[in-house]
Amino acid sequence: MKRLVLVVVAAALAWSAFWFWSASAQRSAIEAWAEDRRADGVEVAWDDLSIDGFPNRIDTTFTGLRGSDASAGYDAEVPVLQVLQMVWNRDHVILALPDGFSVTQGEDRYDVDATGLRASAVQDGGALQRFNLEAEVVNVSGTASAAMSGVTGALRRVPDQPAYSVAFNATEFAAAGASGSGSLALEGEAGIAPEAMGGTVTIEDLRRIRVGRLDLTQGALDLALAADLDVAEDGEIEGELTIRADNLSAAIAAEREAGRMPSEVLTLIEGTAQLLSGLSGREDSIDVGLEFRGGRTWLGILPIGPAPDLF
């Protein structure tokens, strides 16, 4: 019996030592990561960094987390960020942002206030394999504002391809100034430059965008979008984009009654909508396809402007 007690005590002491070593290694890794980012011109700082979760988890809490990238013109502030991991599986990370966050780019600032905002990320050899996001309520205020509830999102590595499948849903969605609320659903795929798949992926690494469906209902308006686009290294896109919008008359009438937009702007939108609906042969609906090629945007055989650059 005494030998069993000694074995249990020894095992407990060994596990405790391992946990404290893991916590110390976590702090050192975070500080080294921040130093590496500063060497790249990205400033990362925090008011407090605490690590707890003994005996089974490594729970890291940042308070007053701030980051800025002068070259890209971004600043971010996160009041509280919790990073939760099991001691024996450090490649599975749960993130929680109980107080939301804010992002600033130039003169544009976006404040995100959310309830139940959390995410889960799984890596393999440093490469992201899947990412899940959920929130009960998300309110975005700033240059562009929106309110959402029932939010879910997912990112999955496509087997044997330098690509991720993407999905996002909001059971209720309302954009600022819109008449009424609706819903939002997105399914697609993002192709990534192969050399970027093993590390941090940025928007400049996008090489293909496929939108299988993007469905948005907003008040009276029903909008659907699909796209298959190739992205060049300089951000120029080529490919096709299709747009369908239904119930245009009711949506425009609701905006005119609400008085949120100038009447001359609504008249211009109404005239454009009537022209495009005539081209598609559908009364009160738009169903058109745009093509991006040679640096221009084409509507059928008509060039209507330059092709947009993604970055």
Q: Where are the domains of the chain?
A: 1-106
For position 263, what pLDDT does the model report? 62
Full-model pTM: 0.83
Task: Provide DSSP, 66-134.
Answer: EEEETTTTEEEEEEEEEEEEETTEEEEEEEE-TT-EEEEETTEEEEEEEES-EEEEEEETTEEEEEEEE
CB distance 234 to 295 below 8 Å:
no
- Chain segment 150-206, per-residue pLDDT in tens: 999 999 999 999 999 999 999 999 887 666 789 999 999 999 999 988 777 888 999
290: which 2 tokens? 């745009």
For residue 194, give every residue at least 6 positions away whose Cβ sits within 8 Å of its Cβ, in sequence order, or none. 162
If one compares 107 and 184, the residue with the highest pLDDT of the two is 184
pLDDT score at 176:
73
pLDDT of 224 above 60: yes
Q: State yes or no: pLDDT of 255 exceeds 70.
A: no
| Helices assigned H by DSSP within the chain | 2-39, 248-258, 263-280
Percent of the chain exceeding pLDDT 90 equals 54
Identify the residue with better confidence: 202 or 260: 202
Name which residue leads in pLDDT, 279 or 133.
133
- Say which DSSP state 261 is in: S
Task: Give residue 299's identity as a one-letter amino acid code.
Answer: L
Q: Which residue has the higher pLDDT, 303 or 177?
A: 303
Does residue 1 surpass a pLDDT of 70? no
